[in-house]
Amino acid sequence: MRQHVNPLSEYFQLPRDLPGPQDLFLQADRPIHLDIGSARGGFLLALAEQQPQWNHLGVEIRHPLVRTAEQERKQLGLHNLRFLFCNANISLESWLTNLPQDRLQRASIQFPDPWFKRRHRKRRVLQPSLLLALAGALQQGRELFIQSDVLSVIQPMVRLIELSRCFERPAKQADPWLQTNPLAISTERERYALERELPIYRVLYRRNSQACPILGKLEETWHQIDNPADALTHPTNPTEC
Ligand SMILES: C[S@@+](CC[C@H](N)C(=O)[O-])C[C@H]1O[C@@H](n2cnc3c(N)ncnc32)[C@H](O)[C@@H]1O
């Protein structure tokens, strides 16, 4: 089994200046779907062909996978798709902040690397700062799609997203997990899970009209929820922002 990349290692902490839409896509004004942790890119390579009216961007921390995905994209002649190497937790925030309003219309985090050990929680890709950067770029009604075959991976993502109050789950779903992938294209890991009949936990969130909470407050509350033992042994004062 492959080792996950440690996103906290020094090399992956270096910020990278990601090009804006005008330098990525032939028709830069189209809505963007951002896939975080795009791996070999199979999902976006298929989606970009199926949805030519959208631009698609995959970001991935493993450079060789980005090279392979980009080669395939070029062979297919897709100008509405790019793959970029970066640590999403370091380099996406400023890219998202600089996007024209309502350019990002869908973001996905699919089968993120599982970090089971408590001391590795900071390596999870969905951290409060990334969530708020996504919430800041997505306008009301725009989508955030998450899925995983590991309940203990998706549950903290759900808790964090709902703690932010920036996103709504479809109201009529008593069961929070979507039975099918709304995008109708499976990722590599999703196909692996489907072939082995593993459970898949999916949620399609929509951005609501709530303003983003203050990052420091969200981080602090999240830390207390995510590390209840720490909160008991080291009570903290809420920071006024
Ligand atoms: C388990 S794989 C899933 C890949 C793909 N989304 C799928 O569903 O098949 C998770 C991917 O996220 C990438 N990844 C992990 N942390 C990341 C980070 N901080 N920034 C960008 N990519 C990251 C990993 O290198 C890996 O390719």
CA distance 219 to 126: 12
pLDDT in tens, 59-90: 999 999 999 999 999 999 999 999 999 999 99
Q: Which ligand 1 atom is nearest residue 62's CA?
A: 25
User: pTM here?
Assistant: 0.93
Domain ranges in the chain are: 17-208
Is 17 one of the catalytic residues?
Answer: no
List the catalytic residue out of 113, 149, 175, 226: 113
Identify the residue whose C-alpha is closest to ligand 1 atom 1. 113
Pocket flag, ligand 1, residue 189 (CB < 6 Å) = yes
Tokens of 210: 């709530």
Pocket flag, ligand 1, residue 123 (CB < 6 Å) = no
CA dihedral 69, 24, 91, 45 (to 10 degrees): -30
Q: Provide the CATH number for the domain formed by 17-208 in this structure.
A: 3.40.50.150
Where are the strands (E) in 74-125, listed by range? 81-85, 104-110
Using alpha carbons, select from 114, 127, 27 the residue that is nearest to residue 78: 27
- Residue 239 banded pLDDT, cuts 50, 70, 90: very low
Kindly state the percentage of the chain with pLDDT values over 70. Answer: 93
Q: Which residues contact 183 (CB under 8 A, 6 or more apart)?
A: 47, 108, 145
pLDDT in tens, 152-193: 999 999 999 999 999 998 776 657 799 889 998 999 999 999
